[in-house]
Amino acid sequence: RRHLLGLQDLQRDEIELILDHAAEFKKLQQSRVKLDHLRGVVVANLFFEPSTRTRTSFSLAAKRLGADTVDFTASGSSVSKGETFIDTALTIEAMGVDLVVIRHSSPGAPEMLSRHVKCGILNAGDGTHEHPTQGLLDAFTMREKLGSFEGKTVTLVGDIKHSRVARSNIWALTKLGAKVIVCGPATLIPPGVERLGVTVAHRFDDVLQESDAINLLRVQFERQRGAFFPSIAEYAHLFGMNGDRLRRAKPNVLILAPGPINRGVEITPDVADGPNSQILQQVSNGLFVRMACLHLLARRQQQLQEAR
Ligand code: CP
């Protein structure tokens, strides 16, 4: 594949290849071996939406592999003078860029870009569509702790409707063999989501005890159209992960959150900072997953350039 646009189109063995490759990079980094897999490769980070984790992680992953990096944010760029999205990308590509990492508020923006440029595209989150490297790093973190997904239940809690993380988690985890439950108020569960192979629950307490891992999605206040129902206080009461719920869950349940977290809404600080929390482990693992994705796509890009 030339691009990483989402996990929907990836086969199980392709997902496993990325996770295995990430595990190799994790081992190499622990032994502090200097890596140069991307020497001579130029990676551009094009972020049209805010980011802390993903942008920093991609940038660091590229540098750890010896690539040159360019960081572009829409604010302060010629986008403010009316330059189009495609013209912006073509301009950056013309500087000799091999791989473009892109975050955009419009679903499908990375796919559209992939039809206009020769370089490889990595989707770093497009609107409510997909966030493939988040889905991969979540799966990596769970697989590392659970061993395998066979017979395991992963519950995604919260704003499924607006969550690109939920979609990428669903594609990855169902393909890897997990039972996936999506749980949230009816207003935040998209109709027909069962067709993606998941089970729907509207009461968190009903699915708490069977969950081996719980991924707490952020309530995306910025993507809510009109009234948000239930209220934030009701949401925290009905769907928030707190100390009481943790005591009723499996003792070793993994608590994940893609971040940024709304402390006191989807998760209370004692759980976010407690022993079951994988939140910072997810961030650390994200680096290795992105190293793997960048390396695999750079290799493919090199094959294509040699064939031209
Ligand atoms: N999880 C995630 O995508 O975080 P950022 O928005 O900070 O990149």
**Is 132 labelled as part of a ligand binding site?**
no
pLDDT tens column, 133-174: 999 999 999 999 999 999 999 999 998 998 999 999 999 999
Pick the closest to residue 290 from 132, 93, 172 (CA basis).
Answer: 132
Q: Is 300 annotated as a binding residue?
A: no
Q: Give ∠ CA 68-71-133 in degrees, rounded to 5.
A: 90
- From residue 269, alpha-carbon distances to 46, 131, 264, 273 in Å are 32, 25, 7, 6
Torsion of CA 118, 124, 125, 129, to 10 degrees: 50
In 10 A of CB 280, how many CB atoms?
11
* pLDDT score at 222: 62
53 is catalytic: yes
Q: For a ligand 1 pocket test, name from 45, 46, 47, 53 the mutation site with the most ligand atoms within 8 angstroms of its C-beta.
A: 53
The answer to whether the beta carbons of residues 296 and 25 sit under 8 Å apart is no
Q: SS3 for 45? A: strand
- pLDDT of 207-256, one tens digit each? 999 999 999 998 876 656 655 567 889 999 999 999 999 999 999 999 99
Whether ligand 1 lies within 6 angstroms of the CB of 51 is answered as: yes
> Could you check whether the bond before residue 230 is cis, i.e. omega within 30 degrees of 0?
yes
Atom of ligand 1 nearest to the CA of 49: 6
107 C-alpha to center of ligand 1: Å? 16
Which of 47, 54, 55, when mutated, tests ligand 1's pocket best, judged by the most ligand atoms within 8 Å of its CB? 54
Reported ipTM: the value is 0.98
Amino acid at 276: N
268 annotated active-site: no
Is-catalytic flag, 131?
yes
